[in-house]
Amino acid sequence: MTTSAPPPSLPPRLRVRRLAKSQDGSGQSIGVTSDGVAYTWGRTNSLGQLGRPPGDKSEPSREPHPAQFVDSNRLLDNVRVARAYAGGNEEAGHTAVIDTHGHMWLAGTDRWQQLGLVKLTSIDSNLGATGYTWDGLWKERFHKNAYVTKLLQEVSGGDGTIRDVAIGGDHTLVLSANKNDVIAFGKGGEGQLGLTGKPWVSAPVRSKELSSKKEDIAAVCAINHCSLTLRDDGHVLARVGKCGKRTTEGFAKALKYCQKKAEREGLLTAVEDAKNGE
């Protein structure tokens, strides 16, 4: 993978190894250093989308500072990040990371359950808005999402390993390592979750329309109120929600960014094979 240039105020010794930028208007970015430390910065941190307290004047939102992680109300300093994802819209935003142990952590807006922080005692394949407990409308630090891992184990029969994550305007997609099952949660009124009946909001659940048993899914993309899955060659396999025309400049740019990110992450094997002449 090529090394991304650090933002101007990030010390040279903390060069970014992986970089994720919001493409939907929320304006946050997250960079991961070579030793797995996550730095965040952006236009605003009013809803905690940077994964650090928004009221801390010593760490302005536009300057890169380390994200914070909390588990059982304890602030942790040993979480090392392997992958990062950012998204949202002009009114909100949320961010996700996968740590070096495969755990998913999320921060930011949770108004539409886009963080999916359901208690483990609530495992239910039909769980919707009921059973979800809001503890504030946003999380200003990263919280571990053990529920999605457990749900992936339930629906996929595996160990719950996550292959890819996509952050939309107000929803989140998680692709299982089995390349067949997609978990969707958050706002769904435009059909972006790929669920029957287009529920206005949903806690994490397997997406019937995005999941696939006939053809492998290489990666997932979420663009505002649109959700897509990609084949190994980077082409769109399925799409749901309010996607608009692919020729629209903003949509095309966001889709290309997602495809390039999937390629950098090594998820598009057919593209890699073509480059290697196989």
Q: What is the pLDDT of residues 173-203, one digit of tens each?
A: 999 999 999 999 999 999 999 999 999 999 9
Token readout for 147 is 């529920």
Residue appearing with tokens 């299982």: 176
How sure is the predictor about 25, in pLDDT bands with cuts at 50, 70 and 90?
Answer: low
pLDDT at site 248: 76
Q: Check if the beta carbon of residue 104 is closer than 8 Å to that of residue 173.
A: no
- Report whether pLDDT(3) > 80: no
CA distances from 153 to 117, 160, 173 (A): 16, 5, 16
* Cβ burial, residue 63 (10 Å; 0-12/13-18/19+): middle
User: What share of the chain has pLDDT > 90, as a percent?
Assistant: 64
Token readout for 68 is 């914070």
**At a CB cut-off of 8 Å and minimum separation 6, what does 189 contact?**
198, 199, 200, 201
pTM over 0.85: yes
B/e letters for 249-258, b = 16+ CB within 10 Å, e = fewer, are eebeebbeeb
Token readout for 78 is 């040993």
